[in-house]
Amino acid sequence: MDDIDSAILGHLQRDGRLTNRELARLVGIAPSTCLERVRALRARGVITGYHAAVQPRMLGRSLQALVFARLRPLSREVISGFEAYLAQLPEVVSVFVVSGDDDFIVHVAVADIERLHAFLMDQVSARREVVSFRSSVIYQQTSTRVMTPVDEHRWSTTG
């Protein structure tokens, strides 16, 4: 990963609809070189896809929350099964398997507090493997739109 690859990634994360010609101009390389670099980034798994960012409120999902859940018994099978179950629910935005006191953090987007309550009662607490859960309403969200490679030397204690 060099500076040109980083610049390509930055521009594509800001606007995934850029044409190859526009991207090449922004980065300062030939369109053919740009196309090869983007293909290489996809082949290496750095670029995993393109998507449209949406506003949940405009889709009738005015309330977002994080749901923290603990499962028992903890096993690969139980964790994988619960993760797959959550991922197919329409209320679920993201699923995180985590360490610490909780085993899962689930980001949900629903219409209102009543729908959150129904989700918690009907979808989460109904599962036998869930031994406890709690939720926190999200008041505001700020997301990092552009992720850059880590400068390994910046974190080195010897360099």
State which fold the 3-43 domain adopts.
Arc Repressor Mutant, subunit A (1.10.10)
pTM: 0.83
Residue type, 144: T
Quick check: 154 pLDDT over 60?
A: no
- Do residues 120 and 65 lie in contact, with contact meaning Cβ atoms separated by under 8 Å? no
Residue-wise pLDDT tens digits, 42-101? 999 999 999 888 999 999 999 999 999 999 999 999 999 999 999 999 999 999 999 999
- The b/e string for 85-114 (b: 16+ C-beta within 10 A; e otherwise) is ebeeeebbeebeeeeeebbbbbbbbbeeee
Task: Report the C-alpha gap between 126 and 26 in whole angstroms.
Answer: 52
Show contacts of 77-83: CB within 8 Å, 24+ apart. Answer: 78/129, 79/103, 81/129, 82/127, 82/129, 82/130
Q: How far is CA 115 from the centre of its chain?
A: 23
What does the domain layout of the chain look like in residue ranges? 3-43, 56-138
Task: Convert the pLDDT of each residue in 9-35 to its tens digit.
Answer: 999 999 999 999 999 999 999 999 999
- pLDDT score of 159 more than 70: no
- For residue 9, the model assigns a pLDDT of 96
| Level-2 CATH architecture, domain 56-138 | 2-Layer Sandwich (3.30)
Is the pLDDT at 129 greater than 60? The verdict is yes
